[in-house]
Amino acid sequence: MKLKDYLKDIINDFFYQMQENKKNSLPIIILNWNGIDDTIECIGSVLNTANIAFHIWLIDNNSDNLEGDKLTTLYKDNPKITVIKFESNFGFAKAHIKIWDDVLSKSATKYIALLNNDTVVDPMWLINLVEFAKENRSDIVASKMINYYNRAIMDNAGHRMLTTGEIIPIGHNCLVDDYNQTFETIGACGGGLLYNTKMLKEIGFFDPYFSTGYEDAELGLRAVVSGFSSHYCPTAIVYHKMGKSIRKVFNKEYSMMIHKAILYSYFKCMPIRNIILTIPSFIFKYLAMTIIDIVFWRPKYLKIIILSWLSVFKNEGNWLYERKKYADIRIKYLRHKYFISFLFFDISRFWNFIVLRKESALDKY
């Protein structure tokens, strides 16, 4: 064999092995949108991940200032990273749907991980997620998300549902040391989690009804009522910059979208038995909110409630069709352990925002 042919075979074998490694490595999706400095710090921490083969799918969501080109140049020679530039901003949900449909749904890997670009991970984060998922037969695993700036304080330990149907983060602003044990959840924060790909192929990935926000909550609820399992893993540590991505898009329209998303998810996914049990709390809460907004004259909040409920009656997003697609064979009764009473949570809101007149995020708009 000629030296030229020999070298050619070595090069071909090298690139073939690279493609095989990428195909068999656990995918980590990281989305960048106008946050290149955070993204570079995040990827630097992921590249220190230990004891597991992974591949980063870095998606630039049509950022300004040529961030996609800069990231492509920065990581073009790194075999562990594939940079994909979108020509439009698809939002969080649709960007993930696109990379899932186009590439990762065909992957042979058992799991995929999602990670916000405004995070830094512990070197054992990914391997601990995977080992936990295998040991506990979990289809969704929530990371231990800690406040990046105050590492004694939790950000998120997965999701739980109020008896009024709203899905909320567990452990937000609580002490880190209080969250050293595992427990079942209703899904996980999309800023740092693991999904079983078999589950996603059965029930679908994010719902395209969503843009940025609540898509992970709806998917977690849809998974649990479809019989899949979801847990919190206290050893999978992620340091989160606490909604830095959301602050870029938060405005009155975003708040409206979240309220619509709560109602859409409730009527799309909740088992009938749970609806019957929770509807009194549901009605009481929204009546109380309406009365409070009228008495204390909070027109922005009143408008959000009215328009959110009109979206339900108009069937925005076609939640009834989505429910019928799998309701007869999938939707299962949610046990009481998944719920917490809305009273303490909403009394706290009332005290802070009405009595103490603290400024909410929406009050800035």
Q: Which CATH superfamily is domain 3-248 in?
A: Spore Coat Polysaccharide Biosynthesis Protein SpsA; Chain A (3.90.550.10)
Condensed to tens digits (0 to 9), the pLDDT of residues 297-317 reads 989 889 989 999 999 889 988
Q: What angle do CA 330, 229, 93 make, to 5 degrees?
A: 80
- Within 8 A by CB and 6+ apart from 238, the residues are 115, 119, 120, 121, 122, 125, 143, 144, 145, 146, 191, 192
- 25-29, 179-183, 192-196, 269-273 — which is least confidently predicted? 269-273
Whole-number Å distance between alpha carbons of 98 and 81: 18
Whole-number Å distance between alpha carbons of 35 and 117: 8
Query: Which pTM does this prediction carry?
Result: 0.89
Condensed to tens digits (0 to 9), the pLDDT of residues 192-219 reads 999 999 999 999 999 999 988 999 999 9
- Within 8 A by CB and 6+ apart from 354, the residues are 292, 296
Instruction: Delimit the domains of the chain by residue range.
Output: 3-248, 252-364
- Residue 267 contacts residue 329 (beta carbons within 8 Å): no
- Residue 128 contacts residue 193 (beta carbons within 8 Å): no
Q: Which helix (H) or strand (E) holds 280?
A: helix 272-295
Instruction: Name beta bridge partners: 32.
Output: 60
